[in-house]
Amino acid sequence: MKRRLLLLLSLLAVAAAGLLWAAHDFVSPYRGYAGSQLFVVEPGEHAAQVARRLVSQGVLKRRLPFLLGYCIGRPRHALRAGEYMFDRPLRPFDVYRKLVQGDVYLHPVIIPEGSDCFDIARLLNQKLGIDPALFLRVAQQAGAIRDLDPRAPSLEGYLFPDTYRFARGVSAATAALTMLARFRHIVATRLGNQRPPLPGGWHAVITLASLVEKETPETVERPIIAGVFARRLEKGMPLQCDPTVVYAARLDHRPAGPIAESDLQFDSLYNTYRYTGLPPGPIANPGLASIRAALLPAAGEALYFVANNHGGHVFARTLAEHQHNVARYRRELAALRGNQAGAASGKPKAAAPVAPAAKAEGQREKGGAKATRRAAQAQKRGKQTQQKGRHP
């Protein structure tokens, strides 16, 4: 009898010691890796498999405490599939809780201002592995923005540029709707007391804002450029905005390189050299500053602008003044390139003027020689509203 009692007591002591050891291990932080660990729980993966991999990656010291918590928590809690970040010592209890709560890692995705749907598709593919073609198909479905813009040909312009955080495996539709929701939030909280001044409502405002966004990175210039475009629209002058030509090429699946004469002649409603008025829809997704500029264009008389070789633009009221600014722009650009070439070779080098068609996008001056000839021809034909030539 005594033997049995002693054996029972011994077993109880061993069990108690085991429980105490497990309990201590369950609440003791552990970290067996350097830096950080991304850990993926696959859909349908068993807890024993997850625990084994957690140990192999240094997140857990032993499997038993984690599995004990899992067994106690069943069937109320289950491990949720997803990607998890571990970057500090955690108790097995904390690891277990993280996986049952679905505290998955969210990847930061930065959508810069002025990105179009093609840019966004590429970024989402790089960061999250989303199929670019699938995202572009989603972006073509404008139904989600019809209440605000019944004429929207796509979601272009309404995918607000910002920093987003998405979980691994997020769908293209969820990503697009998240950006669209951000746009609605901005309109409601930052622009709720402003009403679109242009005929066409938000459709016209966001389209104009996208042109402004692509023309200048300078916040202070955006209302001025918006004013130039607004006055050209009022006068029936073609906007002759180079970024619309680039966007037309992208829609046609052509490489967007330096703009050539054939690009200016390409038959697309987005080509503001061939068609007057605004293009059918936005050509990019503008930021808040450009939207505000389109809502409140600056007053003035300028109808033209050309780059100043310092990141900004020079504005003009008349064609003659604009031609003078263009000539100065060319001289300065030639001098800058000559200085750069001389510095690279170690000796001074004369610079030859560069033809407009050979300039990279963003450096092409508007109001160049070809535009001047077009303006002169228009004057001869008596087209007073279209004799102003190209803006930059």
Is the pLDDT at 201 greater than 70, yes or no? Answer: yes
Give the pLDDT of residue 134: 97
Give the pLDDT of residue 356: 34
User: What average pLDDT does the segment 163-167 reach?
Assistant: 96
Give the pLDDT of residue 368: 37
* CB 387 within 8 Å of CB 378: yes
Give the pLDDT of residue 382: 33
Q: What percent of the chain has pLDDT over 90?
A: 61
Find the range with the poorest average confidence among 145-154, 246-255, 339-348, 380-389. 380-389
Find the range with the poorest average confidence among 8-17, 86-95, 165-174, 350-359. 350-359
Which domains does the chain possess? 26-104 (3.30.1490), 110-300 (no CATH), 307-386 (no CATH)
Q: What percent of the chain has pLDDT over 70?
A: 79
Is the pLDDT at 365 greater than 60, yes or no? Answer: no
User: What average pLDDT does the segment 173-201 reach?
Assistant: 87
Give the pLDDT of residue 11: 60
Average pLDDT of every residue of the chain: 83
At residue 85, φ and ψ (nearest 5 deg) are: -105, 130
54-92 tens-digit pLDDT = 999 999 999 988 988 888 877 677 899 999 999 999 999
Give the pLDDT of residue 101: 93
Give the pLDDT of residue 258: 83
